[in-house]
């Protein structure tokens, strides 16, 4: 396969993962220019190919939009890892690659004959990215992990929703996505370390660790202050006014994060910034319900667009709450490369959410981003080409 460009050009990743966390990690590496070879079970492939509706295509060629979201910039080879041929081809891939991504339950790779020791016997430079639900060890290390289960177990749902009686999951599988991000950055660190040591290592993360690591100030609210965070709807637990407010024709969000911003915001709305109930942030948090009521009484006098213009004009952060169609139509979204158009061999041009990282070119150099993005592959689309590539590598070593 031709070099696609990007910082990871020349790196080969074998993606043994399914569902979302592992595929997301591998996709991020592919976005950076790595060649990603997705190993899929013969005949069925990644389970997410069938997680729908909605689907793209029809009949035998249909595939879920879920699968399309996390498998761009990959090639697909079908292998039955329980067969002699499947194990032989995986052995060849391990010898040829730089990174292996897997999210099997603990012990599965060992039973297939590809435990960590065996993998590093085959390739001492191999970086192994292993993603699990609750960690590979500890009292619940073998437990299966699914995103919504992990969101509940990791405390995220207890802090999300309109109130403490209605714990709510995040609208995307955030545990899977964060685990994929953490797996990718751990992998990059291990690749950098390999330049010094000449040896790969195992990088481990989990849905649990990824979610707990994002507790941020809510975590220290408990560990340091001894307060248990509870769901508080669309308002910040430690800053006020900071949240979603009703106006004449909808909802807008305002983030007043400093005293000077409060003074400007209060003046715009005709509120007294020195009112004892609202004089500083601690008082505003203590009297949040009264503050919200007074703000919304003013905001309901005009429409959202009017207030967005006026609040922005005084230097206070504010924004609309967009639906996803509005986000993808937004010129700012498209200007940041967050929508990719790729040519799918079956359906023609399709648009996908784009990579979140961009690279400026160095003076005199071409762009550092990946030059061409690939559509998510059909099941086994590259099986013959990958086997031929492995044959060439074997021939070169003879």
Instruction: Indicate the helix (H) or strand (E) that contains 344.
Output: strand 339-344
Neighbours of 90 (CB within 10 A): 22
Structural tokens at position 276? 């004892």
User: d(Cα 349, Cα 28) in Å, to the nearest integer?
Assistant: 21
User: d(Cα 201, Cα 190) in Å, to the nearest integer?
Assistant: 7
318 DSSP β-pair partners? 254
Judge residue 144's burial from the number of C-beta atoms within 10 Å of its C-beta, 0-12 exposed, 13-18 middle, 19 or more buried: exposed
Structural tokens at position 143? 């437990």
If you ran DSSP here, which 8-state letter would residue 235 be given? B
User: d(Cα 216, Cα 111) in Å, to the nearest integer?
Assistant: 38
Catalytic residues: 176
* Residue whose structure tokens are 């060439």: 392
First-residue to last-residue Cα distance in the chain? 22
Structural tokens at position 395? 């021939």
Laid out side by side, the sheet with 250-255 consists of 242-247, 250-255, 318-320
Residue 97 near residue 12 (C-beta atoms within 8 A): yes
* Residue whose structure tokens are 């950098």: 192
Q: ω before 342 within 30° of 0 (cis)?
A: no
Closest C-alpha among 390, 396, 339 to residue 92 = 390
Structural tokens at position 301? 């006098």
User: d(Cα 307, Cα 246) in Å, to the nearest integer?
Assistant: 11
């Amino acid at each position: 396969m031709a070099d696609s460009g990007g910082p990871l050009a020349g790196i080969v990743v074998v993606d043994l993962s399914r569902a979302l966390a592992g595929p997301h990690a591998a996709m991020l590496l592919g976005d950076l220019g790595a060649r990603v070879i997705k190993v899929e079970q013969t005949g069925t492939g990644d389970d997410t190919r069938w997680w729908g509706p909605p689907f793209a295509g029809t009949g035998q060629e249909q595939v879920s939009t879920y699968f399309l979201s996390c498998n761009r910039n990959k090639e697909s080879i079908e292998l039955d890892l329980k067969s002699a041929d499947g194990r032989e081809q995986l052995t060849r891939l391990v010898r040829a690659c730089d990174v292996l991504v897997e999210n099997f339950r603990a012990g599965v790779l060992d039973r297939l004959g590809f435990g960590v020791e065996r993998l590093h016997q085959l390739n001492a430079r191999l970086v192994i990215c292993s993603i699990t639900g609750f960690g590979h060890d500890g009292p619940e290390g073998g437990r299966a992990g699914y995103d919504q289960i992990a969101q509940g177990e990791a405390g995220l749902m207890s802090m999300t929703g309109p109130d403490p009686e209605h714990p709510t999951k995040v609208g995307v599988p955030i545990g899977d996505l964060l685990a994929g991000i953490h797996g990718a950055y751990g992998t990059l660190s291990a690749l950098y370390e390999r330049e010094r040591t000449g040896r790969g290592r195992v990088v481990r993360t989990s849905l649990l660790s990824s979610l707990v690591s994002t507790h941020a100030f809510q975590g220290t609210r408990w560990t340091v202050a001894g307060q248990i965070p509870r769901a508080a709807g669309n308002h910040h637990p430690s800053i006020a006014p900071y949240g979603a407010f009703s106006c004449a024709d909808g909802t807008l969000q305002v983030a007043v994060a400093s005293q000077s911003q409060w003074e400007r915001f209060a003046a715009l709305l005709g509120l007294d910034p020195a009112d004892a109930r609202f004089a500083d942030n601690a008082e505003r948090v203590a009297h949040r319900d009264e503050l919200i009521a007074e703000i919304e009484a003013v905001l309901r006098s005009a429409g959202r667009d009017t207030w967005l213009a006026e609040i922005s004009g005084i230097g206070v952060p504010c924004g609309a709450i967009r639906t996803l169609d509005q986000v993808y139509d937004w010129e700012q979204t498209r200007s940041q490369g967050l929508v990719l158009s790729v040519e799918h061999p079956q359906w023609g041009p399709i648009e996908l959410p784009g990579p979140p990282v961009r690279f400026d070119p160095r003076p005199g150099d071409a762009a550092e981003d990946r030059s061409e993005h690939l559509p998510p592959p059909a099941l086994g689309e590259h099986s013959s080409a990958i086997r031929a590539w492995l044959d060439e590598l074997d021939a070169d070593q003879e």
